[in-house]
Amino acid sequence: MMQRIINELSLLILIIDLEKRQLTAATTTITNTNNYKTNNDIMKEYFETMQTEINPSINYLKSNQNTLDRLLYFHSNKPLSEITRKDIIDYLNSLIEAKSNLSK
């Protein structure tokens, strides 16, 4: 479970990284009236860029994809353009709360 929480914390770093690269809808919701970026578009672009820049292992990519998928599921597939830092913290807190309930 601790490894999962560490992975979830890495999600926060990923989102910050995404924002710095301006690949998320947090900074680009609509590129023009005919080209709306979906969550899948944004994640695909991010992972392609990551692959080019740092060439991570397949397992690292899968882990990050899984983490993003769980975050989006937790927030009912909310568009990435609307995901805030608070949303990420709420998600991480839910994991910590779930872990504490399991240990009771």
Does 18 map to a domain?
no
Does 68 map to a domain?
yes
Does 14 map to a domain?
no
Which residues form the domain of 96?
A: 55-104
The pLDDT of residue 16 is: 59
Does 48 map to a domain?
no
pLDDT means per 10 residues in the chain (104 residues)?
62 61 44 62 84 86 86 89 84 83 72
Neighbouring C-beta atoms of residue 60, cutoff 10 Å: 13
Q: Rounded to an integer, what distance in angstroms lies between the CA atom of residue 93 and that of residue 104? A: 17
The pLDDT of residue 28 is: 43
3-class DSSP state for residue 28?
coil
The pLDDT of residue 1 is: 54
The pLDDT of residue 23 is: 46
Does 63 map to a domain?
yes
Rounded to two decimals, the pTM is 0.66
Does 80 map to a domain?
yes
Domain count, the chain: 1
Does 76 map to a domain?
yes
